[in-house]
Amino acid sequence: MNKIIKTILVMTAITFISSCSKPTETPATSAADKANPQQTYHWKLVTSWPKNFPGLGVAPERLASWVKEMSGGRLQIKVYGAGELVPALEVFDAVSRGTAEMGHSGAYYWKGKAPGAQFFSSVPFGLNAQEMNAWLHYGGGLQLWQEVYEPFGIIPLAGGNSGVQMAGWFNKEINSVEDIKGLKMRIPGLGGEVMTRLGALTENLPGGEIFTALQTGRIDATEWVGPYNDLAFGLNKAAKFYYYPGWHEPGTTMELTVNKKAFEALPKDLQAILTVAARAVNQDMLDEYTAKNNAALKQLIENGDVKLRPLPADVLEKLQEVSDQVVLELSEVNPNAKKIYQSFNEFRSNVIDYHKISEQSYINARRTPE
């Protein structure tokens, strides 16, 4: 690992341990107090991504490497790709029951277990990556996330962000809302519910199954992530219409889940190292996507028959109208979801007002250098 990154991580961990300024992220426990500080811990981390897949799959590998180095080898984490130890969409259960001490996935996959979890991945027309990180770490979002996962014996941590995604790959043009009816599309989470209400036939597929499903006609369209990951999967070879923007996932947070009992069994310094490493990975993934998406998009367009298209304004307007209904209904599922919705919505309203005069006005004023 680069010496500068290593130094920053180590100094951050030391500061974190000394100040204990974020007690909700590293809860002190009696089990941790009794742990042997010289013991070596061997953990398993299961993911929903193919092994070493760019961005998503590399992030947990980096986490494991950084934790091992910062801990002097006292905490060693072995990463398993989707299907190597457990199927891609069984990561949550594996961590909950202790089959693996950690997982890396997306919270919207677990809507059947905890509907409120969807707020902590991505909400259609919701928060972007910068705003999502701010809500989680300084707006009370992380504490609410912990409450949702508490009954499952899991501690959640933000584990990466893709930034604003693409609307997806389509084998037909979308010129109106009518074109969505009957469309067979792979799209998870709240975005999937929105598309269903507009007449699409939606399903959730693990990443490794998307290309074949699109190529064989099992599905007509799919969203995945963005140019960097879509190019890696070769989705341009299975569909030619590439739509934007990613209304359904404007700032998708990936999650690191930790088995609570395993976490509490760690000495406090290892708890802090793991938590700080997660914060580093969370930012690192966003940096990587920001740096590599544009180059990947140019390659997709230049090397193939890809037709880049914006979704029509009336389609986006209808998508937002239905999205607002879906999210409001989610808030009424139970008191927990309502509390999360109120926190999320209040933060979104405030940050939209501020970003109109800061981020948005600057971007509107900026021009590409000639």
CATH at residue 75: 3.40.190.170
Tell me if 276 is assigned to some domain: yes
Tell me if 141 is assigned to some domain: yes
Q: Is the pLDDT of residue 14 over 50?
A: no
Q: pLDDT-derived band of residue 368, with 50, 70 and 90 as boundaries?
A: confident
Average confidence (pLDDT) over 177-188? 97
Task: Tell me which residue range forms the domain holding 89.
Answer: 3-163+251-290
Tell me if 125 is assigned to some domain: yes
Return d(Cα 228, Cα 209) in angstroms, integer.
18
> In Å, how far are 44, 65, 68, 284, 357 from 2, measured between CA atoms?
25, 12, 14, 13, 37
Q: Is the pLDDT of residue 194 over 50?
A: yes
Question: What's the pLDDT score for residue 206?
Answer: 92
Question: What's the pLDDT score for residue 38?
Answer: 82
Is the peptide bond preceding residue 206 cis, with omega within 30 degrees of 0?
Answer: no
Q: Is the pLDDT of residue 25 over 50?
A: no
Q: What is the pTM assigned to this prediction?
A: 0.88
Tell me if 355 is assigned to some domain: no
* Three-class DSSP category at 230: helix
> In Å, how far are 102, 151, 306, 310, 346 from 94, measured between CA atoms?
8, 15, 39, 39, 34
Query: How high does pLDDT run on average in the chain?
Result: 92
The CA angle 220-222-227, to the nearest 5 degrees, is: 130
Q: Which of 230, 227, 221, 237 is nearest to 171 (CA)?
A: 221
Contacts for 197 with CB less than 8 Å, ≥ 6 apart? 322, 325, 326
Q: pLDDT-derived band of residue 20, with 50, 70 and 90 as boundaries?
A: very low
Residue 308, beta-bridge partner list:
242
Tell me if 168 is assigned to some domain: no
Return d(Cα 81, Cα 64) in angstroms, integer.
13
Question: What's the pLDDT score for residue 303?
Answer: 81
Count of structural domains within the chain: 1
Q: Is the pLDDT of residue 24 over 90?
A: no
Return d(Cα 336, Cα 115) in angstroms, integer.
9
Average confidence (pLDDT) over 235-256? 97
Return d(Cα 183, Cα 323) in angstroms, integer.
18
Tell me if 169 is assigned to some domain: no
Return d(Cα 1, Cα 9) in angstroms, integer.
11
Residue 102, beta-bridge partner list:
45, 258
CB 239 within 8 A of CB 215: no
Tell me if 154 is assigned to some domain: yes
Return d(Cα 80, Cα 99) in angstroms, integer.
12
Tell me if 111 is assigned to some domain: yes
> Which of 14-18, 27-31, 32-36, 276-280 ranks highest by mean pLDDT?
276-280
